[in-house]
Amino acid sequence: MLGIAMKLGRSTGLRKCVVWDLDETIWSGRLLDGDQPIPRPGIVGVLRELDRRGILQSIASTNEHDTAWPHLVRLGIADLFVFPEIHMGNKVDSIRRISERLFIRLPEVAFVDDDPFERAAVESALSDVLVIPAQRYEDLPRMAAFTPGVSTRESRRRREMLQAEARRQEALEQATSLEEFLRSCDVRFEGRQATQGDLERLCEMMMRINRMNMTGKEWSRDGIVSFLTRPGHFILVASLQDRFGDYGTVASAMLRRSDDAMLAEGMWMSCRVGKRGLPASFLSFLGSFCHRSGVRKTVFPYRPNGKNRLLAFHLGQYGLRGRRSPDGEEIRYTYLVPEAIRPYPPWVSVQCPL
């Protein structure tokens, strides 16, 4: 199994999305030749297992959408795919678009196709994508690249959240202004202190979130448990809902009290729901918590790693200023409370039972 990735020289890191071809991959037969497609043996089980693990699935197929889609519906698997690209355009562009719409980087994408030409084209243009021959489809659930260490409510519902995001995007395109649209979304933010019940989701966020991950440091499960129980140590979490769906726990921060300051040892936010005002809401919640805890400031030692610039951008947009350390490895953002605490975005209703 792992031999595929090794032979192709690809990283075996966790893949968050599989992009499938249709003809001779998900089913036997070619629609453009007028064949009646027959699902490959066991393929539905493979698709459902990946979905259960929270791995997103999409389609890049050279076919007419209106011809192919009814077959996916008939097989009962149409709902398993997000942002499918079924058209006569090229698959490299399709995979790029899918990756952008899912907010997933190309090194987190896999592509399955029976056609050596299509596989070679993707390997050549998108060298970070893990390319797998279609005849190996039954191996996918056994590959490390598709075996996340934890499974949470959020991961099991990831596809539904993406489908909610697609409905939101359609509604946004109909709206006359972004502010008016956001006010109509009924965005609800809830912030609270984490408990042992949040452990799985905390582990998952720390593993999956790259773009808004303050340090990139990996925390062990035991390390998080220890942090949860130690005096003067706090883990804050936030969840988000709107009229399109419930996104579950989407932000967390680990704070350690030191005299009159809180030091953030880590902070993670999902960029998928950032457009609803999550970064500003979470920072306001965090500032209020620190103020109520009696400290004068919170320090965020952000470590740039080439992937997490988005977090620095949001800290800056919240009005926080960062100072780079002499060795250049770290930028320390200082958040004075209460004076730097900003009001929540006007379209967000807030519940913070602290």
Binding site for other proteins (CB under 8 A): 103, 177-179, 182, 211, 271, 274-275, 279, 302, 304, 309-310, 312-314, 316-319, 321-324, 331
Sheet containing 17-20, strands listed edge to edge, beginning at the edge strand earlier in sequence: 85-87, 56-62, 17-20, 109-113, 130-133
User: Is 102 or 132 the residue whose CB approaches other proteins more closely?
Assistant: 102
User: Is 10 or 96 the residue whose CB approaches other proteins more closely?
Assistant: 96
> Smallest Cα–Cα separation from 35: which of 22, 47, 48?
22
Q: How far is the CB of 307 from other proteins (least distance, A)?
A: 11
Q: How far is the CB of 333 from other proteins (least distance, A)?
A: 8
Q: How far is the CB of 10 from other proteins (least distance, A)?
A: 25
CA distances from 266 to 59, 168, 218 (A): 35, 30, 10
**Cα(188)–Cα(90) distance, integer angstroms:** 40
User: Is 37 or 287 the residue whose CB approaches other proteins more closely?
Assistant: 287
3-state helix, strand, coil in the chain (%, to 5): 40, 25, 30
User: Is 45 or 316 the residue whose CB approaches other proteins more closely?
Assistant: 316
Question: What is the maximum alpha-carbon separation in the chain?
Answer: 73
Angle, vertex CA 317, rays to CA 315 and CA 323, nearest 5: 50
Is residue 343 within 8 Å of residue 285, measured between CB atoms?
no
Q: How far is the CB of 108 from other proteins (least distance, A)?
A: 15
User: Is 244 or 302 the residue whose CB approaches other proteins more closely?
Assistant: 302
Q: How far is the CB of 119 from other proteins (least distance, A)?
A: 27
User: Is 101 or 233 the residue whose CB approaches other proteins more closely?
Assistant: 101
Task: Spell 12-40 as b/e; 16+ CB within 10 A means b.
Answer: eebbbbbbbbbbbbbbbeebeeeeebebb
Is residue 318 within 8 Å of residue 280, measured between CB atoms?
yes
In the structure encoding, which two tokens stand for residue 268, read together? 């993670």
Q: How far is the CB of 261 from other proteins (least distance, A)?
A: 19
User: Is 156 or 307 the residue whose CB approaches other proteins more closely?
Assistant: 307
Q: How far is the CB of 194 from other proteins (least distance, A)?
A: 25
